[in-house]
Structure 1
């Protein structure tokens, strides 16, 4: 499988170690590539057709054919993050930057400590792999 990622990405920070554990147990080889150095590939997997959101995990068979794609977030993790972001003021608001930083800190803290979020990622990845 191919993982499109970057070391600065909070979602990659949480999702990639979970993927690596699954891959290790399954004997699956992982190739990590950096998003910003591989935009031609990244642009084939845009979120909502516009966003270069990562990580993106591309599962391929032994013939190099794409079998499944996962990312950038498990559905329930997306709901959690979007729920926090929903309370942000408009970007024009002078408090936006401060509030956005606070939301990112909350998301980061949850990604590093909330085992339920980890389980959501694990279950989501497992569900994708069972379709292959």
Structure 2
């Protein structure tokens, strides 16, 4: 299936949000409080003329999607990008074309296409700086066989989720990374 067909199959942000059972409040909170910094808006001037579209591979249970999706939506508003959401687990044929490190179905993945359906850029699942934070947190976890692993992992996820919902510097880092992918700046 061509990327345009995948895009046409996707949900609008409102449809995606209405179907969410997990992380909706966190996503709403970020959406309500994040605004794209002016310096990033200025970089998007040329992107507006390209009339790009974005396909978002996502799932509502994913904390990274909770963080990144509303930021993409705000960028899209400023750059004139139409966005459609596809649930990863229902669209594995597409997902498997965008594996992280060639093996992982990590999400979200943002696929930017032009009006002809040609891929222009791909972003995800995390900004490099956020990946570093996640890697540092994971490095502190005990081995998976350790009886405390699940509890420690739950604590790590809780800390990351709290930071994702509250830390505006994280939001701006994600925005800069997405804008850089779109503009090269």
**TM-score under structure 1 length normalisation:** 0.97
Q: Which runs of 4+ in 1 moved over 6 A?
A: none
In the alignment, which residue of structure 2 is the partner of 1:70?
123
Structure 1 segment 35-50 matched on structure 2, within 5 A: 35-50=88-103
**Match for 2:176 among 104, 123, 128?**
123
Q: 1:27 and 2:80 equivalent?
A: yes
* Matching residue of 1:4: 57
Does structure 1 residue 87 correspond to structure 2 residue 135?
no
Shift of 1:91: 0.4
Q: 1:97: Cα distance to partner?
A: 0.5
The corresponding residue for 2:149 is: 96
C-alpha displacement of 1:49: 1.1
CA distance in structure 1 between the partners assigned to 2:83 and 2:124 by the alignment? 15
Quote the Cα distance in structure 2 between the aligned partners of 1:32 and 1:88. 33
Pairs aligned (count): 131
1:17 to 70, 74, 91: 70
Unaligned runs of 5+ residues in structure 2 are: 1-53
Shift of 1:20: 0.2
Q: What is the match of residue 111 of structure 1? A: 164
Gaps of 5+ in 1: none
**Rg bigger for which structure?**
2
TM-score (norm 2): 0.70
